[in-house]
Amino acid sequence: MIASTVLLAGGAHAQPSNADLDRQIRTKSDQLEQVVEKYHDIHEDLKTTAAQTGVLQRQIQPLKEQINSRRGAVGRLAAAGYRSSRSMSLSLLLDAGTTRDVVDRLLLMKSYTQHQQREIDELALTSERYATARRTLDALLEQQKNQQTQLGRQRATIESAIADLKKLRVKAYGPTGQLARTEDRAKPPVPRLAGASEKVLKFALAQIGKDYQWAGEGPGGFDCSGLVAATFRTIGIQLPHSSGRQQQRARTITRGQLVPGDLIFFYRDVHHVGIYLGGNKMVHAPQFGEQVRVDPIDSLPINSYGRVVLSTP
């Protein structure tokens, strides 16, 4: 289980070198990101389940009211039929003046019986629809409960792993837990583009320097899929907060088709995503303990490339 691999091992060992600590931090940060993205997948499933549950709950009450109404109608028809059946049958023989009168009264009885049967059939159909909806709703509520339990467990695993990573980063990099960087930290200029693409990149680049924050969608911090979701929300596109789900929503393209604003997905299980800037560079929220920044797209193992259909400005 991934959760168990994230937790740092204890025990007495020789003091690791900075290179060893760096490797441990990279490995455990990557493992943490996998757990975080699995958390997002479950959270997206929970949102879908909650939406489906809401729809069914809104449907069930009217069905219940229809059942009560149809039961009342069937009951009234049955009572009226019982009271009148004997007298109506006898009157057919005693009061009918002509053969035509007998035929008319028989037709009236048939129509009454057919109406009663229609009400019974409608009651049975509505009752079946209600029973089906009720079974589906109960299953969804149980599924929702299980998803909430899974989220709680994942959250506990993530918080524990983060606490261990904080200690490891302090051991490697000092009290701040930050690795000193010598590269230029200035924000690159926004490429001159048309419409929504420029707005996407302008927002994404404005987040450079903000902390990686698991499950973060801003404004103070982001994780990788949270940055993408928040960026595209600025142009009215709602993407799932999950790199894997974002890949499913995007149209697959080739590397040669990449243009600024496209998405790049990383690792075999797609647990990381970045926004393409052009020039083989991307902006992304790397890992816990780091900040949103620009990196070469080949700094991580690429899985695929995707394009979200952008709205007009």
pLDDT in tens, 207-222: 999 999 999 998 999 9
CATH placement of domain 196-307: 3.90.1720.10
Predicted local distance difference test score (pLDDT) of residue 4? 40
More confidently predicted of 267 and 78:
267
Q: Give the whole-number percent of the chain exceeding pLDDT 70.
A: 75
Predicted local distance difference test score (pLDDT) of residue 279? 92
Confidence check: pLDDT of 283 > 70: yes
Predicted local distance difference test score (pLDDT) of residue 127? 77
Q: Is residue 236 classed exposed, middle or buried when 0-12, 13-18 and 19+ CB atoms within 10 A define those classes?
A: exposed
Domain with CATH 1.10.287 in the chain: 2-173
Q: Give the whole-number percent of the chain exceeding pLDDT 90.
A: 54
Q: Which of 16-20, 150-154, 257-261, 282-286 has the lowest mean pLDDT?
A: 16-20
Q: Are 231 and 197 in contact (CB under 8 A)?
A: no
Q: What gap in Å lies between CA 247 and CA 249, rounded to an integer?
A: 5
Cα-Cα-Cα-Cα torsion 205, 210, 213, 216, nearest 10 degrees, comes to -50
Domain with CATH 3.90.1720.10 in the chain: 196-307
Q: pLDDT per residue over 7-35, tens digit each?
A: 444 444 455 667 888 889 989 999 999 99
Q: What gap in Å lies between CA 232 and CA 258, rounded to an integer?
A: 17
Predicted local distance difference test score (pLDDT) of residue 74? 60
The first and second tokens of residue 7, run together, are 């937790």
More confidently predicted of 15 and 1:
15
**pTM of the prediction?**
0.73
Q: What gap in Å lies between CA 220 and CA 203, rounded to an integer?
A: 13
Which has the closest alpha carbon to 300: 290, 312, 310, 311?
A: 290
Mean pLDDT of 162-175: 90
CATH placement of domain 2-173: 1.10.287
Q: pLDDT per residue over 66-110, tens digit each?
A: 777 766 656 665 555 544 554 555 555 455 455 555 555 555 555
Predicted local distance difference test score (pLDDT) of residue 312? 47
Does residue 260 have a cis bond before it (omega within 30 degrees)?
A: no
